[in-house]
Amino acid sequence: ARNSPVDYLSDLNPEQRQAVETTDGPVLVLAGAGTGKTRVLTTRIAHILATGRAFPSQILAVTFTNKAAREMKQRIGLFVGEAIEGMPWLGTFHSIGVKILRRHAELVGLRSDFSILDTDDVIRLLKQLIVAEGLDDKRWVPRVFAQMIDGWKNKGFGPEDIPEGDARSFGNGLGRELYRAYQQRLIALNACDFGDLLLHPIRIFRTHHDILADYHRRFRYILVDEYQDTNTAQYMWLRLLAQRPRSHADEGNAPQGVNICCVGDDDQSIYGWRGAEVDNILRFEKDFPGAAVIRLERNYRSTAHILGAATHLIAHNEGRLGKTLFTDRPDPEDQKVSVHAAWDSDEEARAIGEEIEALQRKGHALNDIAILVRASFQMRSFEERFIEIGLNYRVIGGPRFYERQEIRDAMAYLRVVANPGDDLAFERIVNVPKRSLGDAAIRQIHDTARLLGVSMLEASANLAESDEMKPKPRGSLRAVVANFSRWRDLLETTPHTQLAETILEESGYTDMWKNDRAADAPTRLDNLKELIRSMEDYGSLREFLEHVALVMDKDKNENLDAVSLMTLHSAKGLEFETVMLPGWEEGLFPHQRALDEGGRSGLEEERRLAYVGLTRAKQNLHIWFVSNRRIHGLWQSTVPSRFLEELPEAHIKISEGGSDFGGYGQRSDQAFSSSYATPGWQRARQNRNEATSRNWGNRSGPAVERIGYGEADSGYGAGRGAVKSHTIEGE
């Protein structure tokens, strides 16, 4: 039967089998994409359980996302049957960290019912502390400090450990004091942030050897997936749990403590910007002497063309550990990776939509198709198009475009202008950006509105002229009321896109994000630009708002057969029959910001991200680039990504048919760049080579117009389901 212990082993190749059966001692599986690393981990757990080496509660298994943890549980269940009651210690670093901390909270001054603050809470708290120090919170931005603290915690630094230079760089040299005050406040509030979920346990393990020894006895086997993306704090935490101190080992007979198995791929390290240390892989053998290092070379996921394209691309990186990869996955159609060009992002979305419908007609399930984007703003044109043609889709690892905070805020302004009675919208933005209209003021507006039986905006107009309100909020309220009445007057005379821009400018909303030095602020500004751009497709503000209302109303049934839409970062570890990779243009992918800030290593991390994208595909892989991106109503010509050039000719086919270029000759609108007037990617590529020699040294040259792509929008926290909300799964 399927569940007999031997059966699962027979499904493995010899190296995989070795990785599963080497249960004792440290094991590092270092292997390329799709070679079965995750499968090895799952089978290894099944093997440990089936052979009675440990109970489920004695296995600690770390996955990168909650989703991965759930899938792993299911698969283990298939192997070993229902008899196994869950696995309490299978989850993300955060979900396991919180569980450990709850058991020993009192040792760091917390109660076991401590709460976990999300980013907004943290920022609010930091702001209070910054202001209390007499510092200007405009100059010393709380959000920026929150990110600094997160960075320190990723490195395992408490307030005492941060380098002097770091400490001095914030708050007039008060960085360390502020960090310390923050930690004290958290304790006083019986709360912690996400970093503390690992840092507190690390401190407890270091100071309470009895507790650590207890965990050493408890966790007989430790397993870690996506090991290349662990950061220093995670690594310290793991090492404490996995490594018995020498003294233990020396006196005991057989030190069986270090049954740790990590699997990873240095070529898929894509969280360097969040503090992940790929060097952890290199240190493994040093920290765990006698480690068995197992390499898997056979890829079971992708066809030869897909794998060939991916390995050729990643070979352009330096400083790799180097791996061999081959596949014998049959591909009766001998299908190459296809590269398509489109005029702009709308055409790209239209063409991809058609491609998907064609696949659907051939019997492919939508669940087997994914679109992986570099930056979240790219999703909008796909979402729009899919809604238009009635194609089911789901966005994984982030809110859908119109559900994003900045988009909802902007829409709220527009809704009030279109409909002054929209109290929900009004309330959302009356104090965004901050205008000293706090809870008390809002309550007053509410009460007045109820009393007079009018809208909140009208009530505000009333209050602004009475002396019931304190002078400061009254002044702000008067300005808000005046603004809305002016914008409403413009409604009839000004084109709606221009009006929207005016509103976001005059309300201070755009400035709010411009002044925000947080890493995700540029992304938000991009999304706002994209919002305005998308309004051009509608005749009036009302038409646009109706459209969005309908979009928002789409049901979100999870069990639907649907195309997956997500960022490359959140696609890690997943696989799909068909993968579409749009937006392969310089500046977008590789992302300009990664190049500007990371230099060569930034480029290499982008290339690893491309490698992750390519290797998600099993059978069909399509790459797209557009010749023009329209930002703010302006055409900007783009240059195909250098990564396209790094794909070997033998494995790609350049798609010339269909709508890809057909329309080019007829398109004479606007600033259609003459360099793309000749159809064909070859031509584009040739042009790009010219552009290359002209501009690579000086990237502000004319052929490469810089488009304001924002933050590598992998999303702060993308891929880590657990970090986003108060609730941590598996707790």
CB nearer to ligand ATP: give 575 or 660: 575
* Catalytic site residue from 150, 226, 585, 713: 226
Give the integer Cα–Cα distance in Å for 90 and 55. 13
**Nearest CA among 678, 583, 598 for reference residue 638:** 583
Task: Enter the tokens of residue 538.
Answer: 């509608």
Stretch that binds ligand ATP, among 2-10, 26-34, 166-174, 387-395 (CB under 6 A): 26-34
Task: Enter the tokens of residue 134.
Answer: 């007499």
Give the integer Cα–Cα distance in Å for 595 and 705. 15
Q: Is residue 39 close enough to count as binding ligand ATP by CB under 6 A?
A: yes
Give the integer Cα–Cα distance in Å for 479 and 482. 5
Stretch that binds Mg ion, among 30-38, 327-335, 503-511, 703-711 (CB under 5 A): 30-38
CB nearer to ligand ATP: give 65 or 455: 65
Considering only residues 8, 29, 32, 38, which one is a binding residue for Mg ion as defined by CB under 5 A? 38
400 binds, among Mg ion, ligand ATP, none (CB under 5 to 8 A by kind): none
Q: Is residue 11 close enough to count as binding ligand ATP by CB under 6 A?
A: yes
Give the integer Cα–Cα distance in Å for 434 and 443. 16
DSSP state of 623: E
x/- binding map, residues 575-614, to ligand ATP, per CB under 6 A? x---------------------------------------
Task: Give me the DSSP letters along 494-557.
Answer: S-HHHHHHHHHHHTTHHHHHHS--STTHHHHHHHHHHHHHHHTTSSSHHHHHHHHHHHHHS---
The answer to whether residue 37 is catalytic is yes
Q: Is residue 573 close enough to count as binding ligand ATP by CB under 6 A?
A: yes
Other Cβ atoms within 10 Å of 221 Cβ, number: 21
Residue 564 is which amino acid?
Answer: S
Considering only residues 15, 20, 26, 34, which one is a binding residue for ligand ATP as defined by CB under 6 A? 34
Give the integer Cα–Cα distance in Å for 714 and 723. 14
Tokens 């690579």 appear where? 696
* Catalytic site residue from 16, 37, 176, 608: 37
Considering only residues 272, 397, 573, 719, which one is a binding residue for Mg ion as defined by CB under 5 A? 573
- Pairing type for strands 59-62 and 221-224 reads parallel
Residue 191 is which amino acid?
Answer: A
13 binds, among ligand ATP, Mg ion, none (CB under 5 to 8 A by kind): ligand ATP
11 binds, among Mg ion, ligand ATP, none (CB under 5 to 8 A by kind): ligand ATP
460 binds, among Mg ion, ligand ATP, none (CB under 5 to 8 A by kind): none
Close Cβ partners of 691 (under 8 Å, ≥ 6 residues apart): 639, 701, 703, 704
Considering only residues 20, 27, 28, 33, which one is a binding residue for ligand ATP as defined by CB under 6 A? 33
Q: Is residue 47 close enough to count as binding ligand ATP by CB under 6 A?
A: no
CB nearer to ligand ATP: give 47 or 380: 47
To the question of whether residue 38 is assigned a binding role by annotation, the answer is yes
**Nearest CA among 521, 500, 527 for reference residue 383:** 527
Stretch that binds Mg ion, among 441-449, 512-520, 572-580, 653-661 (CB under 5 A): 572-580
Smallest gap from residue 37 Cβ to ligand ATP (A): 3
Q: Is residue 269 close enough to count as binding ligand ATP by CB under 6 A?
A: no
Chain residues 296-355 in contact with ligand ATP, contact rule CB under 6 A: 300-301
- Dump strand ranges (E) for 242-320: 260-264, 292-296
Other Cβ atoms within 10 Å of 80 Cβ, number: 19
Which chain residues interact with Mg ion by CB under 5 A? 37-38, 573
Residues designated catalytic: 37-38, 225-226, 268, 616
The binding site for ligand ATP (CB under 6 A) comprises 11-13, 16, 31, 33-39, 265, 268, 300-301, 573, 575, 615
